[in-house]
Amino acid sequence: MDLAITLDQRSTTPLHKQLYEELRRAILTGRLKPGERVPSTRGLSLSLGVSRATVTQSYEQLLSEGYLRAETGSGTFVGCELPDELLKTMPVEKFRPTASSLESWPRETGRQLELSSYGASIADSDPFEPPQNDAPINFKTCRPALEEFPLQEWRRLTLKHYRSKEYSMLNYAGESQGYEPLREAIAGYLRHARAVKCGADQVVIVNGAQQALDLIAKLLINRGDRVAVENPGYLVARRVFLAHGAELLPAPVDESGIVVDALNSRPKNGLKLVYVTPSHQFPTGVTLTLPRRLDLLCWAEKTGAIIVEDDYDSEFRFSSRPIPSLQGLANGDSVIYVGTFSKVLFPSLRVGYLVAAPSLARILARAKWLADLHTPSIEQRVLADFINEGHLERHLRRMRTLYDNRRHTLVRALENHFGDRVTVLGENAGMSLMIRLRSELDDDEIERRALASGVGLVGARLYYLGEERPANTGEFLLGYAGLTERRIREGARRLAKILK
Ligand SMILES: Cc1ncc(COP(=O)(O)O)c(C=O)c1O
């Protein structure tokens, strides 16, 4: 075999490395064929004028990587299965699931796959993730003012942990319930700011409120169990309960919050659980009044039902003090409290928490372990420092003022442009508000026209349950926290224009 190989004696790359690269290239480009014998180390060292050790070193590397194979007594050959071929990834055709591909999914794979009842219940539903909306003025998402987040502090604390050389933090965390100093910090914050009765042993750190709801449903709901939800209410929570086989009872919401009497409407068939957002009802924005809170707790004591209190954005109240949590008012263990850092910090962090009686918290932590072992450790450590060094409280104070101003701007702009054709519903709180518009146009048409003029808007009809869903509500949810006052004013002006 005559191999044209040139090595550069003056190069800073060692000769054995150059030879390795040359031979590897010859194999990959087919100049050396699979199965072909390569020269002996002695022969090649003579023909190239390099030491035999140089050739041996490059051969050894090619052998260890599978480019060459040695046969005792016969010589050295090019391998038949080249490692680079094996490692090459095949280009995958982009696949975007459509409603019809989802419907036919188990059949189109060619084999009959029998989904569990859980699998079947989620395979048949509408798409879960809302379509992305890139309207320049987007009232659709209730996202925080991300640009205001103190990234520098977060970065500093993150770097502190990465620099610490405490390699054990890279290992699996010992506790699925969550990093203890973070649980302590959250328990302290909740006792102080939300009057939640809890110790760190009752806190379970989860991947957002979403995972809290999923774990609660897994532990408490059997197929056919009845779960009451606010109507209108948080669509995502409803989906979780339905996926676990719950039968949903929609409970109406009036200006005092969930109508507790409606929970007694079918006493023969007991309710297992009721899901509520008492501080700032989603989406109407009303606050559950104290008498209603007491009625609800009394009802739960009497019936043995569990109340899930989702306190997702209670930190933002602008004209009154935050209302203490429902959990803090309860005598027994009837309330599971759920909270999240998605609104007060940022949603991609995916850290939330739940508070339950210690015995239930332990079982919830086991369910968490089965689901994903634990929430990422470094983020938990950074967050614990962020709270303990006072950054959370400072950030909250700043955001309260900012959101209050943005909300005022929105309400004023709506009143200026719409006059008595608009009613702003709910309390002076949160990151979004619901409005009722008087218009001849139906909800879909308003959404369509708004989008055409660059304004993203979500009709509240989506949040009403099934048959109870009215054809037209004239109600819309406007998220304002992530929009500047200028954009808010411009958005309201454009909306008024399309409705003229
Ligand atoms: C009612 C309600 N609960 C909880 C959440 C937050 O969920 P997560 O913590 O999973 O981001 C939201 C987010 O929009 C919400 O609207």
Q: What is the pLDDT of residue 387?
A: 97
Tokens of 46: 């003579």
Query: Going by C-beta distance under 8 Å and a sequence separation of 6 or more, which residues neighbour residue 66?
Result: 79, 81, 82, 83
> For residue 161, which of 392, 391, 382 has the smallest C-alpha distance?
382
State how far the Cα of 98 lies from the Cα of 101, in Å rounded to an integer: 5
Neighbours of 460 (CB within 10 A): 20
User: Which residue is closest in CA terms to ligand 1's atom 12?
Assistant: 312
- Write the CA distances from 418 to 129, 215, 407, 422, integer angstroms: 32, 44, 16, 6
In short, whether 22's Cβ falls inside 6 Å of ligand 1 is no
pLDDT at 428: 86
Indicate the pLDDT class of residue 218, thresholds 50, 70 and 90: very high
Q: For residue 394, is pLDDT > 80? A: yes
CA of 366 to the centre of ligand 1 (A): 23
pLDDT score of 180 more than 80 = yes
Residue with CA closest to ligand 1 atom 6: 209
Where residue 286 falls (left for φ over 0; alpha for ψ -120 to 50; beta otherwise) is: beta
**Contact partners, residue 32, CB within 8 Å, separation at least 6:** 3, 23, 26, 38, 78
pLDDT tens digits, 192-217: 999 999 999 999 999 999 999 999 99
Q: Is 282 in the pocket of ligand 1 (CB under 6 A)?
A: yes
**pLDDT of 91 strictly over 70:** no
Answer whether residue 107 shows pLDDT above 60.
no
Evaluate if residue 96 carries a pLDDT over 60.
Answer: no
- Kindly report, residue by residue over 28-61, the tens digit of the pLDDT: 888 899 999 999 999 999 989 999 999 999 999 9
DSSP 317: B
**Cα–Cα dist 182/214, whole Å:** 22
DSSP 169-233: GGSPPS-TT--HHHHHHHHHHHHHHH-----GGGEEEESHHHHHHHHHHHHH--TT-EEEEEES-
CA of 312 to the centre of ligand 1 (A): 6
Per-residue model confidence (pLDDT) at position 1: 61
The amino acid that residue 139 corresponds to is F
**Cis amide leading into 232 (omega within 30):** yes
Q: How far is the CA of 122 from the centre of ligand 1 (A)?
A: 19
Residue pLDDT, tens place only, 228-268: 999 999 999 999 999 999 999 999 999 999 999 999 876 55
pLDDT at position 101 over 80:
no
275 lines ligand 1 (CB under 6 A): no
For 163, residues 6+ apart whose C-beta sits below 8 A from its C-beta are: none
Q: How far is the CA of 14 from the centre of ligand 1 (A)?
A: 58
Q: What is the pLDDT of residues 478-491, one digit of tens each?
A: 999 999 999 999 99
Q: Is 353 in the pocket of ligand 1 (CB under 6 A)?
A: no
Whether a cis peptide bond, with omega within 30° of 0, leads into 106 is: no
Q: 457 CB contacts (<8 Å, ≥6 apart)?
A: 139, 140, 446, 447, 450, 451, 476, 478, 495
Of all protein residues, the one whose alpha carbon is nearest to atom 2 of ligand 1 is 312
CA-to-CA dists, residue 357 to 48, 208, 335, 353, angstroms:
78, 19, 9, 13
Q: Has residue 173 got a pLDDT over 70? A: yes
Q: Can you say how many angstroms the Cα of residue 263 is from the centroid of all Cα atoms in its chain?
A: 31
Kindly report the CA angle at 153 between 151 and 155, in degrees rounded to 5? 65
Q: Which atom of ligand 1 is nearest to the CA of 213?
A: 10
Nearest CA, atom 7, ligand 1: 209
From ligand 1's centre to the CA of 236, what distance in Å? 8
> Residue 287: CB partners within 8 Å, gap ≥ 6?
257, 278, 279, 280, 281, 323, 427, 429
CB 308 within 8 A of CB 330: no
Whole-angstrom distance, CA of residue 279 vs CA of residue 321: 11
Would you give the DSSP letter of residue 355?
A: E
Q: Report the distance separating Cα 149 and Cα 346, nearest Å.
A: 8
Ligand 1 neighbourhood includes 277 CB (under 6 angstroms):
yes
3-state secondary structure 459-482: EHHHHCCHHHCCCCCCEEEEECCC
Q: Model's pTM, two decimal places?
A: 0.83
- Listed as own residue / partner, the contacts of 19-25 with beta carbons closer than 8 Å and 24 or more positions apart are 19/48, 19/50, 19/54, 19/55, 19/58, 20/57, 20/58, 20/61, 20/62, 23/58, 23/62, 23/67, 24/62, 24/67
- The whole-angstrom separation of Cα 210 and Cα 284 is 20
